[in-house]
Each structure stands twice: as C-alpha cells, then as structure tokens.
Amino acid sequence: MALVEKRTLDEGGIRLSEATAGDFLALLKPRVMSLVVFTAFVGLMAAPVSINPFIAVVAILAIAIGAGASGALNMWYDADIDAVMTRTAKRPVPSGRVLPREALAFGLVLSLLSVMTLGVLVNWVSAALLAFTIFFYAVIYTIWLKRWTPQNIVIGGAAGAFPPVVGWAAATGSVSLESIILFLIIFLWTPPHFWALALFKSGDYERAGIPMMPNVAGAASTRRQIFAYTLLTAPVGVLPWLLGFTSLAYGVVAIALGLGFIWYAWKVLVMPDSDRTMKPAKALFGYSLLYLFVIFAAYLTDSVVEHVLAMPGV
Amino acid sequence: MNENETVTLTESQRKAQRSRSIAIGLGLALLVVIFYVATIIKFGPSILHGAM
C-alpha cells in the first residue's frame, strides 16, 4: 500500500508506474551496449600495460553503464519519433511504460554514476572521455544533428567509436595512435552500416521526419556514399598491421574482411532503383555487423597472443 | 491538507514496484562490493588495519 495525499491524487499529479526493471534495462539499449562492451574491452586489452583484472572489470562496467545512460537520454528525447517508426515504437517511453521524465532522470543519474566511478576507481582521463562520449551522443547527435542534417550518423558515429579509446585510456591513462585507429575503424564503418539500414527502412525515417541520407539525397547518392565510405573503412582496418601494431595474422583477416565489405557495398552500388526487396542492402547491413565483430575479435586475439608471448618463460 | 488516504496498488503495479525495488537493491549492493574491493586493491590490504 502506498500512502499519498488526496489533494495530489485529485490533481492528477501522480501516476503509479507499471514500469518493471526490465523496462529500465531496455532503456539502456542492451544490444548497443554489448557492442560497446566488446569494443571497449578490445581497447583495454590492446593496451601495452597491464591493469588489475578487477579494476578492468569495473572500467568495462562503468563504460557499459555510461553507454546505456546515453541510450536512455536518447530514448527520452526521441520518444516522439520512436513512436512513429516500426523499429522503435515498442520502446519503453513511446509505448507508455516509462514516463519521459523517468527516462531522463534514469539517464542523468547513471551518466553521473558511471563517470564518477570510472574517475575515482580507474582514472580521470578515461572518465573525461566517457563523459564526452555521453555528451556527444545525447546532445550533439540526438538533440542537435539527428533531426537537422543527413550527415547526422557520419558525425554522430564518433559517439559509437569512442568506447575503444575509453578502454585504452582506462588501461594507460592516455590516448595514442593505436586507439585512434580503433576509433577510425568504427567511425568510418558507421555510415555504410546505418545507410544500408536506412535504404530499406527509408519509409520509417521519412514518416518520422528524420533527414536520413536516402530521404534527402536519394537512394542512388546514398549507394555511392556507402561505397565510398566502405573503400575508406577497408584499408583503415588493415592499418594496425601496416603500422606494426599487430601481427600478419590480423592483417590477413583484416584484408579478407575488407574485401568482403567492399564486395557487399559494390552489390549495393549496382542495385537497381526498381529493387523493392533491397536484398543487397540487407545483406550489407548483416555483413557490416559481422565485419566489426570479427575485426575487433581478431585484434583482441592478436593482443592476447602478444601478451602471452611476452610473458617471461614463454 | 492533513487528510491522508491510502491507495491500493493493482497487481501489475505491485509486481512492477517489486521488480524495481529488487533491481535497485541489487544495484546498490553491487556498488558497495565494487567500491569495497577496489578500495582494498588501490590502497592495499593495510587499509583494513587503519594503517596507510
């Protein structure tokens, strides 16, 4: 039983929430969070210094919560457009299970908690980078760019590219060329990934009034830009090997993955305008996820092997 | 102003409140454990004996 003042109830100022813990968990965008955790972990493991395993787990947890918090802030601000898109209509805020102000408070509290935890228990360089990442995603991307320019996901992609830099900074307390290359791989990968999705979901974005590239510049221009960004992503993926940060094994995997990425992007480039099923775009979207996962998994494997071989007596 | 009334939660409201309470409890407990262990790691076991 809950004790409340009659006057408040009569004014309709109280709404007894039916939001479960699962609804609040959904605000954290767990699927995006899993990618953040993975790439941040690779950044942390690739660093040339060892970090206490418990502190490493705390760092990854704080980065994950920070990423989740920015997701909650995104869902608070974007509830109106989420409601009109099939992909997002069932999210907790547009479906009415969580009130916008609850999502806002949840996002702000977790942002503060994750940044402070990372700063106090790990280091303040990584905490500052995490704070900037949350700010970039929630304010620069969600509030400013997303509804204003078709370059929204190009610039906003930086938010998704920061986690390995934060992970690296958690271990080393600094930013280096190696972590910047990990950033670049995700940054350049983002446009082909999202524009492939935007091609076969363009109706959704148009209804919501979001200026995604296919709605603004047209499908043909989007397909050309997808191909151009893919041509940039593939060689940047090979850079860690060319610069001597990884072994030949990583280089071979990165080259093969890059060629596959270019092949799928080519199929999208030559896709006829009359193609309503957009199978090449769907295939590219699927492959792009595989590309990012495998290239970071290869980087992680390479780093772990290097650490093991560097151990005395091995 | 001083007249108070009680509200009976519906079954779904009660279940939702319980799930939120459990999640908050677990979250706070995890935070305590994290800060406890991390403090020992950062300052060393001597912090438990009051000597730094």
What separation in angstroms does the CA of A34 have from each of A76, A81, A160? 21, 24, 12
State residue A309's pLDDT score: 87
Q: Is a pLDDT exceeding 90 seen at residue A207?
A: no
Give the pLDDT band (50/70/90) at residue B3.
Answer: low
Residue with the two structure tokens 């799928």: A264
Contact B6 A6 (CB under 8 A): no
Q: Quote the CATH superfamily of domain A19-175.
A: UbiA prenyltransferase (1.10.357.140)
- Any residues with CB less than 8 A from the CB of A124 and at least 6 apart, and which? none
Closest CA to A166 of A304, A46, A288, A299: A46
The C-alpha atoms of residue A266 and residue B16 are separated, in whole angstroms, by: 49
Q: What is the pLDDT of residue A3?
A: 47
Whole-number pLDDT of residue A225 = 97
Contact across the interface for B7 and A117, Cβ inside 8 Å: no
Model pTM?
A: 0.90
Does B4 sit within 8 Å of A17, measured CB to CB? no
Say whether residue B40 is in contact with chain A using an 8 A CB cutoff. no
> Residue B41: its chain A contacts at CB < 8 A?
52, 54-55
Does A10 score more than 60 pLDDT? no
- Whether A308 and A249 have beta carbons less than 8 Å apart is answered as no
Q: Is the pLDDT of residue A14 over 70?
A: no
**Residue in chain B lying closest to A16 (CA):** B13
Q: A20 and B16: CB-CB below 8 Å? A: yes
Q: Read off the pLDDT of each residue in A153-172 and give the average, rounded to a whole number.
A: 95
The residue whose two tokens read 């295939």 is A283
Q: Which of A2-16, A121-135, A137-151 has the lowest mean pLDDT?
A: A2-16
Residues of chain A with pLDDT > 90, as a percent, come to 81
- Tell me the per-residue pLDDT of B5-26, one tens digit each, with 9 for 90 and over: 778 888 888 999 999 999 999 9
**The pLDDT value given to residue A5:** 44
d(C-alpha A61, C-alpha A37), whole Å: 8
Closest CA to B16 of A20, A92, A16, A106: A20
Q: Tell which of B13, B33, B40, B43 to mutate to test the A interface (max A CBs under 10 Å).
A: B13
The alpha-carbon gap from B9 to the nearest alpha carbon of chain A, in Å, equals 6
- Quote the pLDDT of residue B48: 72
Which of A27, A54, A65, A99 is the mutation pick for testing B, counting most B CBs within 10 A? A54
Best-predicted range by mean pLDDT among A192-206, A243-257, A264-278, B6-20? A243-257
* Residue in A with minimal Cα distance to B18: A20
Domain residue spans in chain A? 19-175, 184-300
Which of A119, A103, A217 has the alpha carbon at shortest distance from A173? A119
Helices A30-46 and A53-77: crossing angle, nearest 10°?
140
| Nearest CB partner across the interface for B5, out of A6, A20, A25 | A6
Whether ipTM tops 0.85, in short, is no
Least confident span in A9-13, A147-151, A168-172: A9-13
Please answer yes or no on whether B9 and A9 come within 8 Å at the CB atom.
Answer: no
**A6 interaction partners in chain B (CB closer than 8 Å):** 3-5
Residue B35 with chain A: CB contacts under 8 Å: 121
Report d(CA A240, CA A183) in Å as an integer: 12
Of the candidates B3, B19, B34, the beta carbon closest to that of A6 is on B3
Report d(CA A179, CA B39) in Å as an integer. 28
